[in-house]
Every structure is written in structure tokens, then in C-alpha cells.
Amino acid sequence: MRAVLLGPPGAGKGTQAIRLVEKYGVPQISTGDIFRANIKEGTELGKKAQEYTNSGQLVPDELVVDLVKDRLMQDDCKNGYLLDGFPRTIFQAEELDKFLAEQGQKLDAVVNFEIGNEILIERLTGRRICKKCGAGCHVKFSPPKVEGVCDKCGGELEQRKDDTRETAESRLAVYEESTAPLIDYYSKTGTLKNFNGDQDRDKLFAEIVSVLGE
């Protein structure tokens, strides 16, 4: 299974990815997670990426494409992968196509999450992540039992720097301008599958599986 999860920030790509990884036994490749890990570790890549991720701008293509290609060459990607947050520009999509052609591979599906901006802002600004175990929750939709404390491990919950209202709004604007054109790009290749992202997560998961296959 080689699939791309496409959709605006807050659409639920990460949440579905966790379950799809389990279902299909392929790794989730999240470029956002890769950047956050590099920023935390203070690597050269992290230092270069930080100013962009903090302000909700896209990290320049040249810092992203080789990183993803290297990752996709690793052993655990032999039987497929779920790309989460990549490609995010037409250039990245073209580079991915070239890479796949070189490998004699193709994408099975592009899973596109459709959802309105007001809901996304509410989802993003209420999102909290555990500092210790990385589990996510939402102050309104899935509140922790004790405010600020992770239900799973007791760790401290924090808000992602780019989940503040101002940055969330710019991320949505960046999505519209740079990433939404991929919908048209992939609809021409016949790989695009559209899903309503504003529905119960179990129902959405079942719908995705019914389209991707058992």
C-alpha cells in the first residue's frame, strides 16, 4: 500500500494514519513529525526548518524532497508507506512521481480529506499534545480528565507552537495557496479519493478502508 494523505491541517490525517498503519502494516511518514523531531534534537535540519514551522510557512522544497526520498529508500518502506503531510506543493508531487517512476512503483491512492475552515480552526486551536508520550487530545472534543495532564501517561500537555489561532490561520492560507492545487493534480491521475473529514473518526476509517481495500 502506497498512499498519500492529503488535506488541510487539522483534517484528521494523523489520527487516521495511526489506524491505517496498524491495518496495512506500513509506516507513516510524516514530514511534520520529522521536522519536529529534528527541532527538538537541535540538528542542522531542525535549525533551518524551525523558523518556517513556527510561523506556519512551508519549509523550502529543497529541504524536504531529498529527506523524504532518503526515508522512502529505507527497508521498512519496501512494502509501502503512508505519506502524511507530503507532498505539499506541485513541485514536491512531481518529484515524488519521478522517484516512484525510477523505482518502478506507483501510488495506490491519494486520500483527500474535505472539511471546512471554521471546524479546522476550532480543532487546531483546541489541540493539545503530551510532552512525554506524544498522545493527542482536544480541550473541547476529547478533554483530559485533569486539565493539562495526559490521561494516558500523566505527562504534561502542551499546545503545538503552530496551533495558536494566528499561526493556524496562516497555515490554512498556505494550504489553500500551495497544497490545494494537488487536488486537481491527483484527480487527473485517477488516484484521488475524496472523503468527508467532518464525521465520526470510526466511520471515516471504515470508509477509507472500504475504498483502499481490505
DSSP reduced 3-state for 155: coil
Handedness of CA 81, 115, 208, 12 (dihedral sign): positive
Q: Is 13 a catalytic residue?
A: yes
**Contact pattern from residue 145 through residue 184 relative to ligand AMP, giving x for each residue in contact according to CB under 6 A and a dash for the rest:** -----------------x--------x-------------
Q: Which is nearer to ligand AMP, 120 or 210 (CB)?
A: 120
Closest contact distance (angstroms) between CB of 163 and ligand AMP is 9
Site for ligand AMP in 52-81 (CB under 6 A): 52-53, 56-59, 64
Q: Which is nearer to ligand AMP, 86 or 185 (CB)?
A: 86
Half-sphere exposure of 205 (CA within 13 A, CB side): 14
Where helices occur in the chain by DSSP H, the ranges are 13-24, 31-41, 44-55, 61-72, 90-103, 117-126, 165-174, 181-187, 201-212
> What are residue 4's DSSP bridge partners?
83, 110
Q: Name the one range near ligand AMP by CB under 6 A: 82-90, 97-105, 109-117, 131-139.
A: 82-90
Among 9, 12, 27, 197, binds ligand AMP (CB under 6 A): 9
User: Measured from the CB atom, is 65 or 157 closer to ligand AMP?
Assistant: 65
CB 130 within 8 A of CB 153: yes
How far apart, in whole angstroms, are the C-alpha atoms of residue 52 and residue 58? 6
- The question of whether 128 is a catalytic residue gets the answer no
> Closest CB to ligand AMP among 20 and 64?
64
Which of the ranges 30-38, 39-47, 74-82, 187-195 carries the binding residues for ligand AMP, by CB under 6 A? 30-38
Q: Cα separation of 162 and 120, whole Å?
A: 13
**Residues acting as catalytic residues:** 13, 88, 127, 160, 171
